[in-house]
Structure 1
């Protein structure tokens, strides 16, 4: 599901970025700003998805680390128990003669009997002191040996999952290296082509002057709403036309707009506009922000000198 979201997000970002460049090239600023905002939203969404994925992976690693630590503690306790088994067996077999049945009689010299009791007490004290001081060493030794202990087959990640592991050195195969190299080369070529294309489109060039006398622009005005009268259309067309007179490099001093009927209007610009100014004027007219009004450039033409 996350991969599908990544794919759709990447496609949406690519589309928004492409139309952002297209609308900037056409001088349609409102549409360019909308695409820019959409691109920003998609980028924030992709950043959130990537961050969420990283956090999930960190959480999984923490759980895996806790599980491994618990398994290591269990192995350590197991090894410690095995190390203590011989000592416990010796403690059980110490002074077996004291457990003999009482019906047997022994002849002891009182002095030897007292000496034996004293020596036994001293031996018991030495044994307790030795066992108390040896426990940290045993635990340390068990911790070092726990790494060498075999994993529990029933535990997750035990012997049953060893067969699923890839062979040693499989990650650095030649095929993977070739694929990574090919992808990097293609990405570099696409990035270079994109940079060259944008530089070519956005390069400032000297415009050739238009030798014609005037430029005519035919536009159609569409209004959305219940009151779509001819007066409202004429007013909307005049407002849009006046707002776009400052979008060209050459000032449009003699730029009258006439009504042709049926929502069609014709504007005549003198002197004639060059290609760049005409593109800016078309972009401004079609990207107008007048409420409930949309203007479409139907035709553009130049009038030669001497024509009406």
Structure 2
């Protein structure tokens, strides 16, 4: 069942096309990672979903309702955390949390207190005294205290230290286990990799890949470190082998996942002493994909 569905979404600012036929779907109980470089169209998409911007063309629905015409109803069941939180300077953090929770019709004081402790937030301080990280904490506590069905998180851990990032990740997994849905826009690839069931990669206003992490692994290479009794020959002539380097007694190289079987068979004839394999990461996928696109478009004036 779809909680959020975007079909052929286009947004133009004058002659500039910020979004060009974007398609997205977030299912019930799913954490969907929305990734791409700065200027790719992530925040523009999210502003349309929140009813802040009107799409030029296409459709966007949350809970089966149109995001522009039914924005007020939709907002009763969603929680949003931006990457740079602005708060009322004369209110305390606790007052802001209470205000946001009341707006969504909630009043779970036990959950509020638990999250304030977990995020190590002092709710009695005025918001004007908060650092960027503490402003993010206020927004995150307010979001996860609310009984929302969909969490829209746009770079939510910006300014948080690693310990607080871990608390955030726990909160996302708790929301998922409770059957809630999450749209997570992030450039922290390790965060996306830990949390997300599926990922959509956006570039220059277009979705260029969507799928589960296992489905997207075909774009990546496995890192291998191999030591053999006899010197390996013919490695660089094999299909799918890249960046071969000698490291003391071993060879380090990358292998396209689909060629891994053939490469292992080849090196096994040289009597393997040690074999270390590092699985491909989302970062490998991301960088390889974009590097390839950049090279293809160099000189074409493409905007990244």
TM class by shorter chain equals: under 0.3
Please, what TM-score do these two structures have when normalized by structure 1?
0.21
Structure number with the higher strand fraction is: 2
Normalising by the residue count of structure 2, what TM-score does the alignment of the two structures yield? 0.22
- Structure with higher Rg: it is 1
Greater helix share, 1 or 2?
A: 1
